[in-house]
Amino acid sequence: MDLYLIRHARAEDREIGRGDAERALTRDGKKRFQRCARGLERLGVGFDRIHHSPLLRALETADLLVPLCDGETIVTLHLARAPAQALLDELERSCAQLGASGVDADAARIALVGHEPYLSQLCAWLAIGWRVFDDPEQAGLLQLEKGGVAHLSGDPRPGAMTLRSLWTPAALREIGKR
Amino acid sequence: MISPSHWLEHLRNHLAVARAGDDPEGVHQLRVAAGRLSVWLELAGRRALRDDLAWLRRSASGVRDLDVLLARAKNECGKLGEWRGWLAAQRDEKRVQLVRVLDSPRLAALLAALSTLPPLAPAEADARLACFSRRVRRAASRLRAGAREEEKKHDAAALHRARRALRRWRYALEWTGADASEIKRWQEDLGELNDRAVLLRHLDASPIAAQLGELREETVRQLDARGDALYKRWRKHGRRSAR
Q: How far apart, in whole angstroms, are the C-alpha atoms of residue B190 and residue A127?
A: 54
Q: How far apart, in whole angstroms, are the C-alpha atoms of residue A140 and residue A67?
A: 32
Least CB–CB distance from A54: residue in B50, B112, B118: B112
ipTM summary value: 0.93
CA distance to partner chain B, nearest, from residue A97 (Å)? 14
Assess whether pLDDT exceeds 80 at residue A65.
yes
Backbone dihedral angles phi then psi of residue B91, each to the nearest 5 degrees: -65, -40
Least CB–CB distance from A75: residue in B47, B49, B117: B49
Assess whether pLDDT exceeds 90 at residue B212.
no
A17 band by pLDDT with thresholds 50, 70 and 90: confident
Assess whether pLDDT exceeds 60 at residue B152.
no
Q: Which residues of A touch B56 (CB under 8 A)?
A: none
Q: What is the mean pLDDT of residues B165-192?
A: 90
CA angle A5, A10, A15 (to 5 degrees): 125
Q: Which residues of B touch A72 (CB under 8 A)?
A: 51
Whether B48 and A60 lie within 8 Å, measured CB to CB:
yes
Whether A77 and B48 lie within 8 Å, measured CB to CB:
no
pLDDT, averaged across chain B: 88
Residues A90, B104 contacting (CB under 8 angstroms): no
Of the candidate ranges A83-97, B146-160, B169-183, the one whose mean pLDDT is the lowest: B146-160
Q: Which residues of A touch B50 (CB under 8 A)?
A: 73
B78 band by pLDDT with thresholds 50, 70 and 90: confident
- Residue B99: predicted pLDDT: 96
The pTM of this model reads: 0.91
Cis before A117? omega within 30? yes
Name the strands in the sheet holding A109-114, side by side, starting at the edge strand that comes first in the sequence: A73-75, A49-52, A109-114, A2-7, A149-154, A161-167
Assess whether pLDDT exceeds 90 at residue A135.
no
Residue B100 burial class via C-beta count within 10 angstroms: exposed 0-12, middle 13-18, buried 19 and up: exposed
DSSP, collapsed to helix, strand or coil, labels residue B103 as: coil
Q: How far apart, in whole angstroms, are the C-alpha atoms of residue B26 and residue B17?
A: 5
Q: Does A12 touch chain B (CB under 8 A)?
A: no
Assess whether pLDDT exceeds 60 at residue A102.
yes
**Spatial CB neighbours of A89, under 8 Å, sequence gap ≥ 6:** none
Q: How far apart, in whole angstroms, are the C-alpha atoms of residue B73 and residue A88?
A: 46
pLDDT, averaged across chain A: 93
- Residue B239: predicted pLDDT: 62
Find the closest chain A residue to B48 by CA distance.
A63
Interchain CB contacts (distance < 8 Å): A and B: 59
Assess whether pLDDT exceeds 60 at residue B215.
yes
B119 band by pLDDT with thresholds 50, 70 and 90: very high
Q: Which of B98, B178, B41 is nearest to A62 (CA)?
A: B41
Q: What is the pLDDT of residues A21-52, one digit of tens each?
A: 999 999 999 999 999 999 999 999 999 999 99
CA quadruple B35, B40, B43, B44: dihedral sign: negative
Q: Does A34 touch chain B (CB under 8 A)?
A: no
B234 band by pLDDT with thresholds 50, 70 and 90: confident
DSSP, collapsed to helix, strand or coil, labels residue B73 as: coil
